[in-house]
């Protein structure tokens, strides 16, 4: 611990920054809504509250949902059980996430330091310290990663997994622990298996080439079985309730994205060229977010200069970064889009790779500490300029200021449907009174999207109103269901308003003023 006292100060500084931002958001909820808290986070909060109140894993308090990742859901559910106000529960989750994120700072620095045992002390310390500092002081991380989603938990687990993998020994216990962590990582984000895949393939290939005895295969099988035991209940629950292990959130939005690309680019070469270009652009984002592209240069230099002398530990780190690139490429090519938090959760891994690469490139020479600290400080300042966090999601202010009061009034007696239903469902007057239309948390909506029958879905769920952004209706009407609004009449006529409200023609009700105020 004495060797890492400097890292403790960096970690505490990172925690102080996160707490400062938390207190700022605590007194400025609208700033939180427009800068850090996406609508998807409120899906989690709604499901967690329903689970805490005895409705099960359900978004609408009636039907089960698998449109989230279970580990983060189970971790935050107790927050919604203790009787806090709705905003109080949100801030409690974000406070917990801030503390977890500070732990990630420590793990980044400690991991880099431990992976450079043969380097000079100044080299180890500055390589580890710079990596930790880039995470601790990153405005991009502080504002966008602490978002109410599973982002921080996934980032934490991937670094812990790396540390456990690099400490494997001949005993089955360490492999069982690795299997446990693998299972937890998959429960944190199911697609993390793509990040682990290059390491697994390399290990299996090496065992096959070297003719390892049965004990090596037994240890790997142990880890796989333990991971499967951890993940199996979740997959079985999905199959029993939905007939498939695939989450609704993994099906719904890609359908819309691919149909949009079919219209824009056709179904041939042009479409796939666009997706390939997007995949390349998205694969570069972690390097940009972690250190404005510098990690890409140092990692490529390390691989090119020391590919024959590279240590096993360093190779493992780079293989995991390849897995991260694979994850982003797969999402881009086969789902048609990525969410920002897919990139953010990979930043700690990229910073570990960055620290190991600059430490390894310096070898056993003394590092120029002042130059590294100066470079890290410059990157943090440039990040603040490039990724200035002011109102990244300005449209959400309309949801909270205008949409939420309207939904609270309407849901006293009726059901309201929305494509962006997170905030509305969380703040609605009654559980189950808001219906999800984009299918992220509704298997029934996914089926409606697949069969171009959202109109039937709305009828079966007795939806009286539809409220959403004006621009969202055109896409869903033209690409998903041309008859979506056939049974509804436009309630608001002002074309300058961001939100529009449709009322079922058979429902009588007064015009609601909050939308125009």
CA dihedral (37, 62, 72, 165) positive or negative: negative
Beta bridge partners of 489: 503
Q: Sort strands 465-469 and 499-504 into parallel, antiparallel or unpaired.
A: antiparallel
Q: Could you tell me if 474 and 468 are in contact, meaning their C-beta atoms sit under 8 angstroms apart?
A: no
Neighbours of 317 (CB within 10 A): 29
Give me the torsion for CA of 463, 466, 467, 473, rounded to 10°: 150
Give the confidence band of 248 by pLDDT, cuts at 50, 70, 90: confident
Q: What percent of the chain has pLDDT above 70?
A: 95
Q: Which of residues 92 and 262 earns the better pLDDT score? A: 92
CB within 8 Å of 172: residues ≥ 6 apart:
218, 219, 222
Picking from 151, 178, 67, 167, the residue whose alpha carbon sits closest to that of residue 339 is 151
* Per-residue CA distances from 279 to 48, 155, 257, 461 (Å): 33, 21, 14, 38
Give the confidence band of 89 by pLDDT, cuts at 50, 70, 90: very high
Q: What is the pLDDT of residue 513?
A: 45
To which residue do tokens 């897995």 refer?
323
The pair of three-digit structure tokens given for residue 403, joined into one six-digit string = 């949409």
Picking from 185, 136, 120, the residue whose alpha carbon sits closest to that of residue 16 is 136
Q: What is the pLDDT of residue 251?
A: 81
Q: Could you tell me if 10 and 136 are in contact, meaning their C-beta atoms sit under 8 angstroms apart?
A: yes
By three-state DSSP, how is residue 36 classified? Answer: coil
Q: What is the pLDDT of residue 253?
A: 79
Order of strands, sheet of 465-469, starting from the edge strand that comes earlier in the sequence = 434-436, 416-418, 465-469, 499-504, 488-490
Q: What percent of the chain has pLDDT above 90?
A: 72
Q: What is the pLDDT of residue 95?
A: 97
> Each residue of 274-303: b (16+ CB within 10 Å) or e?
ebeebbeebbebbbbbbbbebbbebbeebe
Q: What is the pLDDT of residue 256?
A: 84
Q: Could you tell me if 116 and 126 are in contact, meaning their C-beta atoms sit under 8 angstroms apart?
A: no
Q: What is the mean pLDDT of the chain?
A: 91
Give the confidence band of 356 by pLDDT, cuts at 50, 70, 90: very high
Q: Which of residues 1 and 306 earns the better pLDDT score? A: 306
Rounded to 5 degrees, φ, ψ at 416 are -120, 135
Give the confidence band of 510 by pLDDT, cuts at 50, 70, 90: low
Q: Name the least confident of 80-89, 241-250, 477-486, 508-517.
A: 508-517
What are the tens digits of pLDDT across the range 138-178?
999 999 899 999 999 999 999 999 999 999 987 899 999 99
By three-state DSSP, how is residue 465 classified? Answer: strand
Give the confidence band of 515 by pLDDT, cuts at 50, 70, 90: very low
CA dihedral (232, 237, 238, 244) positive or negative: positive
Q: What is the pLDDT of residue 293?
A: 93
Indicate if the pLDDT at residue 367 is higher than 80. no
Give the confidence band of 475 by pLDDT, cuts at 50, 70, 90: confident
Q: How much is the pTM?
A: 0.94
The CA distance from 97 to 75, in Å, is: 11
What are the tens digits of pLDDT across the range 181-234?
999 999 999 999 999 999 999 998 887 776 666 788 889 999 999 999 999 999
Half-sphere exposure in the Cβ direction for 343 (13 Å, CA): 20
What are the tens digits of pLDDT across the range 414-470?
999 999 999 999 999 999 999 999 899 999 999 999 899 999 999 999 999 999 998
Q: Which of residues 191 and 509 earns the better pLDDT score? A: 191
H or E element in which residue 503 lies: strand 499-504
Sequence-ordered strand ranges (E) for 258-377: none
Q: What is the pLDDT of residue 479?
A: 83
Give the confidence band of 391 by pLDDT, cuts at 50, 70, 90: low
Once rounded to an integer, what is the mean pLDDT over residues 338-365?
Answer: 90
Q: Could you tell me if 319 and 166 are in contact, meaning their C-beta atoms sit under 8 angstroms apart?
A: no
The CA distance from 462 to 444, in Å, is: 13
Give the confidence band of 472 by pLDDT, cuts at 50, 70, 90: confident
Indicate if the pLDDT at residue 381 is higher than 70. yes
């Amino acid at each position: 611990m004495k060797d890492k006292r400097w890292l403790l100060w960096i970690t505490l500084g990172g925690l102080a920054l996160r707490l400062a931002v938390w207190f700022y958001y605590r007194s400025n909820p609208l700033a939180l809504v427009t800068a850090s808290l996406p609508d998807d986070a409120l899906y989690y909060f709604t499901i967690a509250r329903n689970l805490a109140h005895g409705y099960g894993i359900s978004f609408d308090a009636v039907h089960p949902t698998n449109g989230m990742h279970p580990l983060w859901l189970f971790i935050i559910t107790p927050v919604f059980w203790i009787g806090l106000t709705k905003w109080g529960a949100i801030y409690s989750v974000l406070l917990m996430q801030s503390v977890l994120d500070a732990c990630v700072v420590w793990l980044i620095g400690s991991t880099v330091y431990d992976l450079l045992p043969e380097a000079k002390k100044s080299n180890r310390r500055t390589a580890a310290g710079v990596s930790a500092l880039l995470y601790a002081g990153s405005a991009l991380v502080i504002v966008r990663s602490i978002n109410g989603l599973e982002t921080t938990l996934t980032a934490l687990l991937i670094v812990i997994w790396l540390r456990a993998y690099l400490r494997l020994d001949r005993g089955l216990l360490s492999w069982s622990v690795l299997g446990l962590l693998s299972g937890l990582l998959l429960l944190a984000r199911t697609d993390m298996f793509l990040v682990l895949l290059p390491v697994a393939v390399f290990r299996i290939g090496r065992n096959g080439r070297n003719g390892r005895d049965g004990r090596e295969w037994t240890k790997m099988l142990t880890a796989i079985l333990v991971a499967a035991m951890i993940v199996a209940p979740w997959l079985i629950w999905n199959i029993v309730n939905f007939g498939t292990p695939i989450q609704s959130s993994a099906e719904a939005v890609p359908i819309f994205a691919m149909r949009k690309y079919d219209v824009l680019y056709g179904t041939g070469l042009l479409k796939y060229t666009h997706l390939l270009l997007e995949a390349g652009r998205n694969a570069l984002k972690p390097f940009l977010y972690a250190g404005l592209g510098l990690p890409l240069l140092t990692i490529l230099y390390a691989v090119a200069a020391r590919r024959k002398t590279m240590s096993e530990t360093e190779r493992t780190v780079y293989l995991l970064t390849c897995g991260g690139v694979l994850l982003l490429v797969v999402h881009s090519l086969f789902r048609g889009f990525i969410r920002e938090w897919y990139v953010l959760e990979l930043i700690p891994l990229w910073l570990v790779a960055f620290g190991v690469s600059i430490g390894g490139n310096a070898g056993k020479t003394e590092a120029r500490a002042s130059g590294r600290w100066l470079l890290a400080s410059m990157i943090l300042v440039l990040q603040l300029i490039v990724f200035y966090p002011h109102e990244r999601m300005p449209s959400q202010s309309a949801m909270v200021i205008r949409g939420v009061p309207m939904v609270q009034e309407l849901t006293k007696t009726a059901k309201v449907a929305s494509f962006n239903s997170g905030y509305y469902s969380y703040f609605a007057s009654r559980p189950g009174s808001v219906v999800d239309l984009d299918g992220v948390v509704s298997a029934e909506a996914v089926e409606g999207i697949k069969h171009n029958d959202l109109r039937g879905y709305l009828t079966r769920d007795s939806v009286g109103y539809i409220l959403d952004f004006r621009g969202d209706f055109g896409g869903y009407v033209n690409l998903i269901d041309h008859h979506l609004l056939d049974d509804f009449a436009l309630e608001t006529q002002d074309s300058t308003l961001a939100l529009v409200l449709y009322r079922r023609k058979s429902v009588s009700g007064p015009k609601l003023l909050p939308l125009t105020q």
